[in-house]
Structure 1
Amino acid sequence: MISRVTTQMTMATAQARLQAGAAKLADLTDQATTLKAIRKPSDDPAGTATAMQVRKEQAQAAQHARNADDAAGWLATTDSALADVGKVLGKVRDLTVQAANDGTMNDTARDAIVKELQGLKADLLSTANTKYGTRSVFAGSSPAAAAYAPDTTWAGSSAPSVTRTIGDGDQVRVDTDGSAVFGTGGTSVFALLDGIVSDLQAGTNVNARLNQVDAAQAAVRSAQADVGVRHSAALAAQDSLKTLSTTLEGRRSGVEDKALAQAVLDLQLQSTNYQAALAVTAKVLQPTLMDYLR
């Protein structure tokens, strides 16, 4: 059986197609304006799921990058402080060697060395209380405002460690145990300088103190090597996270964004198709009053 096709049916069909074309044209116009391929989940459900996963990975990578930056800054500060400690202890050793030649030392020269050693002790104490932000870098895991009190008592804690997560399952320790660098109590570098000063004031030869100075320098070098390894790990994480950030942004853009050239081309094609459809429909459907009366 052949169905009768009326003019109204033809016009309704044509109108529906034209409306669909107009809607597609409006959609492509919006895409060309925003350069977004996905503006709502229904545009591309699968793409939306992928984009959400990529954005989750981007947020995680951004947090890791902030952690790596913090770790690198903390460890760079510690490394610089240790370098300063090494220089001070080098001066202490030179002065100790000079003072050990007591056969050529007079009271004036001895007093000058004593004053310089006392000044170096103050420098060491200041460096031992170096801070990164609000945290003392040599207080270990302790939140103490200063690693060493004015009487050179250590106020830090050696456990647990302060770490920063710089990747999936990858952490770097940022704190440094000041007691392992400067010592505590009667075995600290501060006590060592006090001992050298006391020996000089008492007229005792300080040559025996050189081994202690050498041991203190060795402790600082060991700490520097450890901090250097951790600092390198933080710097390497920074580089890898920058690369990862670029990769993830490329993935996100590939799913969510639309290239300008492609957006303009699609819009032009749809506009041409829509104008052609309008023209063809206008020519094919030219109803008269009699068409409606039938």
Structure 2
Amino acid sequence: MSFRVTQGTLARGVLAGLQTNMTQLQRTQEQLSSGRKLNRPSDSPVDTVSAMQLRADKARTTQYGRNVDNGLSWLSTADTTLGQATDMVDRVRQLVVSAGNGALPQESLDAMAKEIDQIRDGLIQLGNTQYAGKYVFGGTMTETPPFDSTTGAYGGNTSAVNRTVSDDPKSGTVAVNVPGSTVFTSMLDSGTGILDSISSALKAGNVTAVNAQLGNLDAAASAMRSVQSTVGAKVNRLESIQTLANGHLDTITNGLANAENIDLPSTIIQLQMQQNAYQAALGATAKIIQPSLMDFLR
């Protein structure tokens, strides 16, 4: 079966071809001006889905990174504070050992008691350390000082302040705080605390009672160092997670660039080829569509 090709059919076919060329040229010009090959989902549905997944992954990884940074700040603050507290406790031990030989006059024992009282006040101040306006050693009660400035009583709790640092359901959450009751309470309680007991014994000249507190002091110092080592282990863990997250973020960024951004040299060459093709199509159209009798009768 044959079909009759009229001048109008030929013109419509040529114009449709020119429109297709112009559309491709316009899309390439838009990509070149924006630097993106995905300006709307219809440009490439497959790449659009991939880009959306990558952007969701990037947002999630970025949030995990912020959580890690915050957790490291909390733990670093606690680590520094515990280091200072350990130095203070070591100084108390030196004083206790010096007083234990029984050869010092009462004036010296009284001076030691005053120094220990000052150390106790300093430990209370350390126990009320803040990071970003939050009390580090108060458990989840971060808005009020965990230790009473006079009695040394602990008013916080032992609940964990957690940060989610990965998708892992088992190990993706890390506690970034240290409850003060596990570190300072045995030393700070008024009357019954180790430091108050040592100070009272020194003021009374009771060297035997001073020596009796040496074991308790060593146990408290050991517990403090144990907590500090745990904090250090968590810092190392978060730093490892941070390194992995940064590497993953770089991979996601490269994937997004490949999915969304143009290859500039290739796009420039493609634009030049399309411009040449369009100009050639215009020239061919001018030769194909010759003036007809109707053109002369208009």
Q: Where does residue 51 of structure 1 map in the other structure? A: 51
Equivalences for 1:65-214 in 2 at 5 Å?
65-103=65-103, 105-150=104-149, 151-159=151-159, 161-168=160-167, 169=169, 170-184=172-186, 191-205=193-207, 206-214=210-218
Identity of aligned residues (%): 34
| Residue pair 2:95, 2:112 contacting (<8 A) in 1 also | yes
Paired residues for 1:27-66 under 5 Å: 27-66=27-66
In structure 2, what is the Cα distance between the partners aligned to 1:123 and 1:85?
8
Offset at 1:190?
8.1
**Greater shift in the superposed pair: 134-143 or 270-279:** 134-143
Do the aligned partners of 1:47 and 1:255 also contact (CA within 8 Å) in 2? yes
- Residues 120 and 188 of structure 2 are in contact (CA less than 8 Å); yes or no, is this contact kept in structure 1? no
CA–CA distance in structure 1, aligned partners of residues 157 and 49 of structure 2:
46
The SS at the match of 2:213 is helix
- Structure 1 residue 77, shift from structure 2 partner: 0.7
SS of alignment partner, residue 5 of structure 2:
coil
Output the CA distance in 1 between the equivalents of 2:119 and 2:72.
28
Cα distance between partner residues in 1 of 2:187 and 2:89: 18
Structure 1 contact 182–188 (Cα < 8 Å) conserved: no
Residue 183 of structure 1: CA displacement? 2.3
Rounded Cα–Cα distance in structure 1 between residues aligned with 2:185 and 2:246: 39
Matched letter for residue 291 of structure 2: P
Query: Per-residue CA shift, 1:45-84, capped at 9, x if unaligned?
Result: 1221121111111111111111111111111111111111
Shift of 1:184: 4.8
Alpha carbons of structure 1 residues 61 and 25: separation in structure 2 relative to 1, 3 Å: same
Residue 277 (structure 2) pairs with residue 273 (structure 1): yes
* Conservation of the 8 A alpha-carbon contact between 1:18 and 1:277: yes
| Larger deviation, residues 105-114 vs 228-237 | 105-114
SS at match of 1:164: strand
Shift of 1:143: 3.0
Hey, what does 1:284 align to over in structure 2?
A: 288
Aligned partners of 1:7, 1:26: CA distance in 2, in Å?
A: 28
The alpha carbon displacement at 1:290 in A equals 5.8
Q: Structure 1, residues 103-145: CA drift from partner, whole Å, max 9, x if none?
A: 1x22432232222111111111111111122221111222342
Shift of the alpha carbon at 1:39? 1.0
TM-score by length of 2: 0.91
Task: Give the Å deviation of 1:230.
Answer: 1.5
**How far 1:5 moved relative to its partner?**
2.2
CA contact (8 A) 2:64 2:164 kept: yes
RMSD: 2.1
Asked if 1:230 corresponds to 2:234, the answer is: yes
Q: Tell me the CA shift for residue 268 of structure 1.
A: 1.2
Q: Structure 2: where are the runs of 5+ without partners?
A: none
**Range with greater deviation from structure 2 (185-194 or 76-85):** 185-194
Which SS does the other structure have where 1:172 is aligned? strand
TM-score with structure 1 setting the length = 0.92
Provide the C-alpha distance between the structure 2 equivalents of 1:200 and 1:6, rounded to a whole number of angstroms.
118
- Structure-2 change in CA distance of 1:136 and 1:59 (3 Å): same
For residues 184-214 of structure 1, the C-alpha deviation after alignment (integer angstroms, 9 at most, x for no partner) is 5887898211111111111110222211211
The answer (yes or no) to whether the contact 2:188–2:195 under 8 Å persists in 1 is no
Q: Which deviates the most, 215-224 or 142-151?
A: 142-151
Task: Determine helix, strand or coil for the equivalent of 1:15.
Answer: helix
Give unmatched runs, 5+ long, in structure 1: none
CA-CA distance at 1:2 after TM superposition: 3.2
Match of 1:242 among 233, 246, 251: 246
- Give 2:131's aligned amino acid: Y
Q: Does 1:264 align with 2:268?
A: yes
Instruction: Give the match's secondary structure for 2:287.
Output: helix
Aligned counterpart, 2:223: 219
Summarize the Cα distance change of 1:108–1:187 in structure 2 as closer, same or farther, 3 Å threshold.
closer
Secondary structure (helix, strand or coil) at the match of 1:102 reads coil
Distance 1:272 1:6 in 2: 28
Q: Counterpart of 2:174 in 1: which secondary structure? A: strand
